[in-house]
Amino acid sequence: MRQIIILMILGVAILTGQAQGQDSLNVRQIGLIHDYWDRAISLALVDTIAYVATRNSGLRIVNIADTENPVEIGYLDTEFAQGVAVAGNYAYVADAREGLRVMDITNPTASEEVGFFNTPGQARGVAVAGSFAYVADASSGIRVIDITNPAAPIEVGFYDTEEGYAGGVTLAGNYAYVAGGLGGLRIIDITNPATPVEIGSYDTQGSAEDVVVAGNYAYVADWSDGLRVIDITNPAAPVEAGAHFIGPYAYSVAVAGEFAYVAVGGMGLRVIDISNPASPTAEGETNLQGFSRYVAVAGSHAYIADYNGGLRVIDITTPATPTEAGLYYNPGGTHDVAFSGNYAYVADTKSGLRVIDITNPATPIEVSILAGKAYGVAVAGNYAYYVNRDDFEGGFRVVDITVPSAPIEIGAFSSLAELNGVAVSGNYAFVASGYSGLRVINISNPVAPAEVGIVNTPGYAEGVAIAGNYAYVADRYDGLRVIDITNPTAPMEAGFVDGYAYDVSIAGNIAYVAGAWEGLYLIDITNPLSPFEIGSYITQGSADGVSVVGSYAYVADAGSGLRVINITNPEEPFEAGYYDTPGTAYGVEVAGNLAYVVDTYYFGIYDCSEALGVDDGITKLIPQTVTLYPSYPNPFNPATTIRFDLPIASEVSLVVYNIAGQTVETLVSSQMNPGLHNVNFDGSRFSSGNYFYTLKAGTFTATRQMVLMK
């Protein structure tokens, strides 16, 4: 009981202490390509619309009126969409990092978030009945959320499932049936939503991942032990009526008529005849190349959320011979960008090299794609040079882009591994090659590029920039390495500066280094043999990419989007503007007042003209409200950074608790000045699991969750 009471208190703190930060300052989004997907993991069907939860790329809305040619018509950005339910004009998204999100889908092509409730655990599934949403919240059990007012959902009750976790939930009558992982099937009486009570359970043989109820039976997708059929005539005493072993990874189940449809990871769809629940038998199957995670059925079709293959449409008119009828999938992992003329060339880690027409920045249009796993790209003349980690056609690739809508690969050098970034100077391409350091490729003949030099850096080469006779390598944990390339066939290290370095841009005598959690730092390279730091700016997120134009550095700041830093005085850089982009910003390039951001599952164009007019950073450095931000990274191992804003000097307490409400570590207990603050938490001494951190500053109190995964 003590644990339940503490979790309730934490839940209230999260609700009442939440402070919503501003999404942008002096920067506006003017164009966005949003149809790049992460992993499809769950879905809900309403008429001719499929609502697909796709983890990092949020909720995707797909028109399935033409089952052979499904088309995405809308999306909603969430942090980590795991489950979705639809009721009336609202979609309810279970987000593993942000709890329950409520979306108005009156117009599916222009949906918007109207409310949210941050649950204490990791929301994995959700079901809705009447005025209540029931959230399967992993280790935090079932949370009952009153959605009478969708704009202000509030928790009214919960049940801690204790053993196992709450992974999926379905409702039937006065009961919630919970797929509880290793805890099996749990049956919760929700007659009074404020005081849900478990009245029955059944320990399935495997790990209960999903459950659906039809008549007097609950059908459980039991992971390694296939389909379990549980007689729930008496919910207080459920008993197994039958079972059918399918193979490993039975993740989801749907029932229609006399058949159960099971999504089996790595195998596809299995159709089970359940006309006799005591003796379910195989009826049909279709093998799919991806990893099937969820299934829903409507009419003569089954719809599968495929972890590696998007939304798959299966014709089940004849259950014995199901066949794939349609597919929608546009995997994304935008990572780097270069541009030439009216085209942006995007390195996508899941799809390859994308070519985007940016003639009209408000409506960027993808015009072509070369398949692969591209991590870095550079453009010079009529050629794009990109590094590809594809298993079969990896390496350094040369593409003729004379006609951008019809790019042609003309040359390659394949004997490279762990390729990250590329820069071109004259007849040479310089490739940041992870633990292999810096590789030098002769591209004087684009048809036959050849490696001519190499230098092993001490760390992990992430990015590279060229200025004069020197290559500047962002070497991850080993800082900035300065490489003399006067003789490209014999490059050698000339100098270095320690620190974190994920990307680098050169302007004049200064190297601007994206230093992950250390933010942006500025290195004087007047003497490349003795570089030294002259200034820095701690960004809100993790500085992963940087581009410099004029008096401004543009930082791709991971989960904190695009940050525009005024570098007029290199010793005192300050933030002039920002935009919290919908994805995770990894790279940025700039032309004029426009910043082009590769944002993992998005490609965005941002007008920074207002930020470029800011000439005094003093007022911008002092926040307007107390704000507690999500820790980054999250999940983490072993360390993460907790960030918060203070508008005035305050007595501050920042404490980390475990899931039992016990104090794990007090990070801050002192008077602090106004400004932006970053505090590191080292979890190396603690076990994996859910942790909470609470900030108290004056009358302000807020709690957020973080997950340590070792």
The CATH code of the domain that includes 572 is 2.130.10.10
pLDDT of residue 450: 96
Using pLDDT thresholds of 50, 70 and 90, give the confidence band for residue 622: low
Cβ atoms 449, 412 nearer than 8 A: yes
Residue 11 lies in a domain: no
Please check whether residue 463 lies inside any domain of the structure. Answer: yes
What is the phi/psi pair of residue 648, to 5°? -140, 165
How does residue 649 score in pLDDT terms, banded at 50, 70 and 90? confident
**Residue at which a domain ends, from 193, 228, 260:** 260
Closest CA to 101 of 87, 119, 89: 119
Give the model's pLDDT for residue 20.
Answer: 34
- Model confidence over 273-287: pLDDT tens digits? 999 999 999 999 999
Of 682, 681, 685, the C-alpha closest to 695 is 681
In terms of phi and psi (left: phi > 0; alpha: psi -120 to 50; beta: otherwise), the region of 105 is alpha
For 401-409, the CB contacts below 8 A with 24+ separation are 401/340, 401/343, 401/345, 401/355, 404/343, 404/355, 404/357, 404/367, 404/368, 405/355, 405/357, 405/367, 405/368, 406/368, 407/353, 407/355, 407/368, 407/370, 409/370
Q: Is residue 392 part of a domain?
A: yes
Residues 549 and 676 in one domain: no
Same domain, yes or no: 389 and 475: yes
Same structural domain, 413 and 492:
yes
Confidence of residue 392 (pLDDT cuts 50, 70, 90): low
Give the pLDDT band (50/70/90) at residue 689.
Answer: confident
Dihedral pair phi/psi, residue 618, rounded to 5° = -60, -50
In degrees to the nearest 10, what's the CA dihedral of 268, 273, 276, 280? -40
How far apart are the C-alpha atoms of 178 and 201, rounded to whole Å?
9
Whether residue 599 is found in the same domain as residue 473: yes
Q: How confident is the model at residue 5 (pLDDT cuts 50, 70, 90)?
A: very low
Mean pLDDT for 417-445 is 95
What is the residue-averaged pLDDT of the chain? Answer: 91
Higher-confidence residue: 121 or 632?
121
Angle at 473 between CA 469 and CA 474, to 5 degrees: 155
Within-domain flag for 302: no
- The Cα–Cα gap between 102 and 90 comes to 7
554 residue type, one letter? Y
Q: What percent of the chain clears pLDDT 90, i.e. is strictly above it?
A: 76
What is the rounded CA–CA span in Å between residue 103 and residue 34? 17
CATH of the domain at 704: 2.60.40.1930
Q: What is the mean pLDDT of residues 699-705?
A: 90
Co-location of 585 and 637 in the same domain? no
pTM more than 0.75: no
What tokens were used for 257? 């008529």
**Residue 682 within a domain:** yes
155 belongs to a structural domain: yes
Q: What percent of the chain has pLDDT over 70?
A: 95
Say if residue 481 is in the same domain as residue 556.
yes
- Given a cut of 60, whether residue 342 has pLDDT beyond it is yes
Rounded to whole angstroms, how far apart are CA atoms 222 and 240?
13
**Residue 471 φ/ψ, nearest 5 degrees:** -105, 135
505 pLDDT more than 90: yes
Domain that holds residue 555: 339-620
End of a domain among 600, 620, 640? 620
On whether residue 330 sits in a domain, the answer given is no
- Output the DSSP codes for 410-477: EEEE----S--EEEEETTEEEEE-BTT-EEEEE-SSTTS-EEEEEE--SS-B-EEEEETTEEEEE-BT
Last residue of a domain, one of 240, 260, 280: 260
* 596 and 635 co-located in one domain: no
> What is the rounded average pLDDT of the residues 354-380?
93
Q: How confident is the model at residue 619 (pLDDT cuts 50, 70, 90)?
A: very low
pLDDT of 634: 81
> Per-residue pLDDT averaged across 632-657, rounded?
87
pLDDT in tens, 216-272: 999 999 999 999 999 999 999 999 999 999 877 999 999 999 999 999 999 999 999
Q: Number of structural domains, the chain?
A: 3
CA distance 221 to 179: 8
Residues 37 and 331: beta-carbon distance below 8 Å: yes
By mean pLDDT, which of 484-493, 617-626, 698-707 is the weakest? 617-626
pLDDT-based confidence at 415, cuts 50/70/90?
confident
